[in-house]
A and B are shown apart, each in its own frame.
Chain A
Amino acid sequence: MPQKRRISLRTLLSLFLVLVLIPATILLGVFVLQDRAYYFISLLLIVYTMLPFLLLFEKRKPQARELVVVAVLCAIAVAGRAAFFMIPQVKPVMAVVIITGVALGPQAGFLTGAVSAFVSNFFFGQGPWTPWQMFCFGIAGFLAGLLFRKGRLRAGRVSLSVFGGLATLVIYGGIMNPASLLMGSAKLTWGAVVTSYAAGLPMDLIHAASTVVFLLVLAKPMLEKLTRIQVKYGLLRESS
């Protein structure tokens, strides 16, 4: 039973993560890394969360059509910027990732988010921010897929836009602002975190607003297009 094996593999991996790797990292951070502990612990934790998703995809040996569709969506998320060459702050990544999560499931959502961020940085430059961005977009896609599967998120324009706006503010802004702070300071103080949020807020608001607008306008047609492809070519029946 491939189904059974997959679940057991996932369980094993997560057990290993929770019981061994994460405590070990925290101990290492506390006793060895001293001043840089916060930065490294958080970085490693983020890498750990992403690993199982990526390894599961690898393990599943995706079909050609599945691979192509995910690649297309990632590339649209990255290249979509070109359609807004006259309004440069607008980035469609978050919207595309959320739509993917809803249409193709949480795993594909995570993958599209993480890979989009990674690929995008290949064009705009990798940096210490890469893993964090991968994580943020990945988790947003994952959550969209998961909530939709569990019936907590409807595929309507409004609910998706609300989710998109919140995801951008809470997940992306919520993680990226303190993450950039951690790069250059020993520890997180409340004052510093609040300041980083305040400083990041204008950009986060623009980002969130553009995601909301994107989803309001594009969610329905994009979902229809993906459904058509799925129906026409029998694509991607991800087991949830």
Chain B
Amino acid sequence: MANYGFSSYHPAVNFLFFAAVLLFSMFFLHPVLLGISFFSALAYAVRLNGWRTLRFCLTALLPMAVLVAFLNPAFNHDGVTVLVYVNDNPITLESVCYGLAAAVLFSSVILWFSCYNAVMTSDKFLHLFGRVLPSLSLLFSMCLRFVPRFKGQTKVIAQAQRGIGLDPGEGGPLRRAKKGMHILSILTTWALENAVDTADSMKARGYGLKGRTSFSLYRFGRRDRAALLFLLALVVLVGWGALLGEATLQYFPRLSGKEITGRSLVLYGGYALLCLTPLILDAKEAVAWRRSQWKS
């Protein structure tokens, strides 16, 4: 799914979307908005990661969500509608509701992050921050270069140790830990000593000259501008609705929210459109593809 539909848009579009959606999702506790966010996130995660998402939801997410749902009423005794007393502590309806809402909120944030991880690859991230934070971006890129390399070297070292009879997989936990640390020590020497070459290679290619620029393969096209404006408009719309209190549902001391009016419906619609943007753009791409096939 990389580089298809929404993923193929400029990183700025991707990033704006996730920043907005994550921020709103962490903040909105209104049941309608929670529902919109959760189901959009779930749908997009399934689209990106397939059925693995559902397995993840059932095995990892659900238990955590249940925990969150129980945690709130167990420790938060605010609220006026007492359902039952446990050890002299009141369990309130408001707290139970809040717990459920928090569980859904938590789940949607995690799901959005799983989408983020699939879409915002490291080079997209680097492209966005390469201009603003060039040194940190380069540092980050070098780390991404070194980590797989060091993992590979760790294997090489482990194998070399086996070749002289020090199998890191043998022995009790303490012995293994010791051998592991031995490997780490060898790795450190190797990495530091060889890093001098890397620094030389950077200097040989002019690193340190004034006025370093930042290059990337991404180009900001007309399509990206349209998408960006579209997203921005939705963000403003949703933000405006939130400021007017349309997104607020008071949980404590008593469940109370504004009446649902036309304005609320506009907010819900705008939020749904925002959350579904990636799926809409993916669908648009699918349609465009089919059309291009008809012509020929």
A186–B252 touching, CB < 8 Å? yes
Q: Smallest distance from the beta carbon of A212 to chain B beta carbons, Å?
A: 12
A64–B199 touching, CB < 8 Å? yes
Q: Smallest distance from the beta carbon of A188 to chain B beta carbons, Å?
A: 9
Identify 14 residue pairs between A and B in the complex whose beta-carbon atoms are under 8 Å apart, listed by A's number.
A67-B135, A67-B202, A71-B143, A78-B147, A79-B147, A83-B157, A86-B176, A87-B177, A128-B113, A186-B251, A192-B74, A192-B75, A192-B76, A217-B181
Q: How far is the CA of A195 from the CA of B176 in the complex (A)?
A: 33
Residues of A with C-beta under 8 A to B164: none
Residues of B with C-beta under 8 A to A6: none
Kindly report which residue of chain A lies nearest to residue B65, judged by CB atoms. A184
A58–B143 touching, CB < 8 Å? no
Q: Smallest distance from the beta carbon of B184 to chain A beta carbons, Å?
A: 5
Q: A58-B136, A87-B173 are in contact. Are A126 and B113 (CB under 8 A)?
A: yes
Q: A39-B26, A84-B180, A192-B75 are in contact. Are A225 and B188 (CB under 8 A)?
A: yes
A79–B150 touching, CB < 8 Å? yes
Q: How far is the CA of A183 from the CA of B68 in the complex (A)?
A: 9
B191–A72 touching, CB < 8 Å? yes
B184 touches which one: A87, A92, A186 (CB < 8 A)? A92
Contact with A along B200-234 (1 / 0, CB 8 A): 10110001100000000000000000000000000
Q: How far is the CA of A118 from the CA of B188 in the complex (A)?
A: 20
Q: Residue B288 at the A interface, CB < 8 A?
A: no
A226–B75 touching, CB < 8 Å? no
The interface centre, meaning the residue of B76, B136, B198 with most chain A CB atoms within 10 A of its CB, is B136
Q: B interface, by DSSP: helix, strand, loop or mixed? A: helix
Interface residue ranges of B158-208 to A (CB < 8 Å): 158, 168-169, 173, 176-178, 180-181, 183-185, 187-189, 191-193, 195-196, 198-200, 202-203, 207-208
A76–B150 touching, CB < 8 Å? yes
Q: Smallest distance from the beta carbon of B61 to chain A beta carbons, Å?
A: 12
B202–A64 touching, CB < 8 Å? yes
B136–A65 touching, CB < 8 Å? no
A87–B176 touching, CB < 8 Å? yes
Q: Residue A197 at the B interface, CB < 8 A?
A: no
Interface residue ranges of B95-154 to A (CB < 8 Å): 98-99, 102-103, 105-106, 109-110, 113-114, 116-117, 122, 133-136, 138-140, 142-151, 154
Residues of A with C-beta under 8 A to B196: 65, 68, 229, 233
Q: Residue B29 at the A interface, CB < 8 A?
A: yes
Q: Smallest distance from the beta carbon of B88 to chain A beta carbons, Å?
A: 13
Kindly report which residue of chain B lies nearest to residue A213, judged by CB atoms. B177
What is A's interface to B at a CB cutoff of 8 Å? 33-36, 39-40, 54, 57-58, 60-65, 67-72, 74-76, 78-80, 82-84, 86-87, 90, 92, 111, 115-116, 118-119, 122-123, 125-128, 181, 183-187, 189, 191-192, 195, 210, 213-214, 217-218, 221-222, 225-226, 229, 233
B168–A186 touching, CB < 8 Å? no
B26–A36 touching, CB < 8 Å? yes
A78 touches which one: B114, B143, B183 (CB < 8 A)? B143
Q: How far is the CA of A30 from the CA of B191 in the complex (A)?
A: 49
Q: Smallest distance from the beta carbon of B293 to chain A beta carbons, Å?
A: 36
A185–B180 touching, CB < 8 Å? no
The interface centre, meaning the residue of B76, B176, B181, B250 with most chain A CB atoms within 10 A of its CB, is B181
Contact with A along B70-95 (1 / 0, CB 8 A): 01101110000000000000000000
Q: Smallest distance from the beta carbon of A199 to chain B beta carbons, Å?
A: 9
A128–B146 touching, CB < 8 Å? no
The interface centre, meaning the residue of A36, A184, A222 with most chain B CB atoms within 10 A of its CB, is A184
Residues of B with C-beta under 8 A to A54: 133, 136
A76–B187 touching, CB < 8 Å? yes
A126 touches which one: B76, B117, B133, B203 (CB < 8 A)? B117
Q: How far is the CA of A233 from the CA of B199 in the complex (A)?
A: 11
A57 touches which one: B136, B169, B192, B250 (CB < 8 A)? B136
Kindly report which residue of chain B lies nearest to residue A216, judged by CB atoms. B181
Q: Residue B248 at the A interface, CB < 8 A?
A: yes
Residues of A with C-beta under 8 A to B248: 34
A222–B185 touching, CB < 8 Å? yes
A83–B180 touching, CB < 8 Å? yes
A67–B158 touching, CB < 8 Å? no
